[in-house]
Amino acid sequence: MSNQCRIRISSALLAAALVLACHHGVAGGKAYVGNFKDDTVSVIDTTRAQVVATLPVASGPHGMAAAPDGRRIYVSGDNSSHVSVIDTAADRVVQTIEVGRSPHGLALTPDGITLLVAVNGEDQVVFIDPATQRAVGSVSVAKPHTIAVRPDGVLAYVASQDPRGFAIVGVDLVTRKVVRTIALDKPPRDLEFAYDGKALYFTEAGVNAVQVLDPASDRIVAQIPTGASPHYANFFRRTKFGLVVVQGTNELLLFDPATKQPVRTISVGRQPHWVAVSSDGKTAYVPNEGSNDVSIVDLASGQASTVAVGNAPRKIVVQDSSSGAAVSIANFVFSPAVVTVAAGERVLWSNDDGAPHGISFRDGSAGAQSLLPGQSFEKRFDQPGSYEYSCSFHSYMTGRVEVVSAK
């Protein structure tokens, strides 16, 4: 049977059976693409640039989020009241969570403990515990569309498309209350925090520019000019430039996060909707809603290839090609504080702070004495167990790696 399975059927049960029949194990990384009009997610083997599975999910896949360890992908169904949970080891839906009418954007806290769902039809942001797959709270936000969680995990910003007053709404994730509202003249489309938390990028309907908000003051400090209808903008870890998808000109725009100015544009497919980046920061993946494909872009050369997927692909998440977990060091905290990996997998620590830090293991095993801002450290764990560590410079900063037996 072919490694590439493109199946359109009406029966969810039959679809699930066919997915299992045509799925092949993937040794490298994978990308998961939500096909809005097919009610499916295409799974791309990023090493071979081929679709290896097609999974039926909640109707109208809209929002997508990946667990920090990459073992679960969450997909909200705009035309449903559900969030589908995908097990990435088996590439199948293992859970369906009821959240309320027309869920849009999804976001996970950096520690992976809470999933936030923008339930547009209920005017609420719902908090889900991924461990139990149950709602544990909610907060009222009018017509929530997308969500961005600040890298410190303390505050979330929600794009509110309420016609009575467009706004970005700040939600305290500890008290689960609205703590600020930034009024806008036009509907906000998407909003994303840069990986270092120094800027919030957002787009507005009818504005041919990306707005740059300073999270310290909640003031718009710059605009990045674009072509017609920019949709998504972000500055990813290990990328030199920030990225914007521009729907009207079918381009991926690169910008300088320091000067807030465009640098170059790269042609992609028709009506690009989203962008994700590989863990090494070298490759961008752009789902093109108008041409039913994904552009795979080498960010150094600007060269792009395409992979056909389902009908009207919108969101995409990319799984790290090297199995394991990632820990960010920011604001004098290891985030997430606890990660779980299988024996033989690696953990990557990245110093995203302004001060030097280090990794010192309690059992005396090799760590990193000093990591300057921007530096990283990777360690492989071969034996199951619990590995506690602290910062070499700041003993109050602690974390733990849980290593389980490989299946």
Q: How does residue 220 score in pLDDT terms, banded at 50, 70 and 90?
A: very high
Q: Where are the domains of the chain?
A: 324-404
Sheet-wide strand order for 144-149: 144-149, 155-160, 167-172, 177-183
Average pLDDT over residues 70-95: 94
- Assign domain 324-404 to its CATH superfamily: Cupredoxins -  blue copper proteins (2.60.40.420)
Sheet-wide strand order for 115-119: 103-108, 115-119, 124-129, 134-140
pLDDT of amino acid 406? 63
pLDDT of amino acid 16? 35
**Alpha carbons 82 and 330: distance in angstroms, whole number:** 33
Average pLDDT over residues 365-390: 91
- Total residue count of the chain as it appears in this document: 407
Q: How does residue 322 score in pLDDT terms, banded at 50, 70 and 90?
A: low
Beta strand 345-351 pairing with 324-330: parallel
pLDDT at residue 117 tops 50: yes
pLDDT at residue 3 tops 80: no
pLDDT of amino acid 2? 38
Average pLDDT over residues 69-75: 89
Average pLDDT over residues 232-237: 94
247-259 pLDDT tens trace: 999 999 999 999 9
Average pLDDT over residues 330-352: 89
Q: Quick check: helix, strand or coil at residue 58?
A: coil
Distance of CA 2 to the CA centre of its chain: 30
pLDDT at residue 391 tops 50: yes
pLDDT at residue 7 tops 90: no
Burial of residue 363 (number of CB atoms within 10 Å: 0-12, 13-18, 19+):
exposed
pLDDT of amino acid 110? 85
**Alpha carbons 237 and 222: distance in angstroms, whole number:** 21
Calculate ∠ Cα 111-170-328, nearest 5°: 25
pLDDT of amino acid 18? 34
Identify the CA nearest to 327 among candidates 359, 354, 370: 359
pLDDT at residue 279 tops 90: no
Q: How does DSSP classify residue 22?
A: H
Q: How does residue 342 score in pLDDT terms, banded at 50, 70 and 90?
A: confident
Give the position of tokens 């970005």: 168
pLDDT of amino acid 89? 84
Average pLDDT over residues 27-31: 73
Identify the CA nearest to 146 among candidates 98, 87, 200: 200
**Alpha carbons 86 and 205: distance in angstroms, whole number:** 31
150-178 pLDDT tens trace: 988 999 999 999 999 999 999 999 999 99
Report the mean per-residue pLDDT for the chain: 90
pLDDT at residue 240 tops 60: yes
pLDDT of amino acid 71? 82
pLDDT of amino acid 323? 58
185-199 pLDDT tens trace: 999 999 999 988 999
Calculate ∠ Cα 322-324-330, nearest 5°: 110
Average pLDDT over residues 328-332: 92
pLDDT of amino acid 5? 37
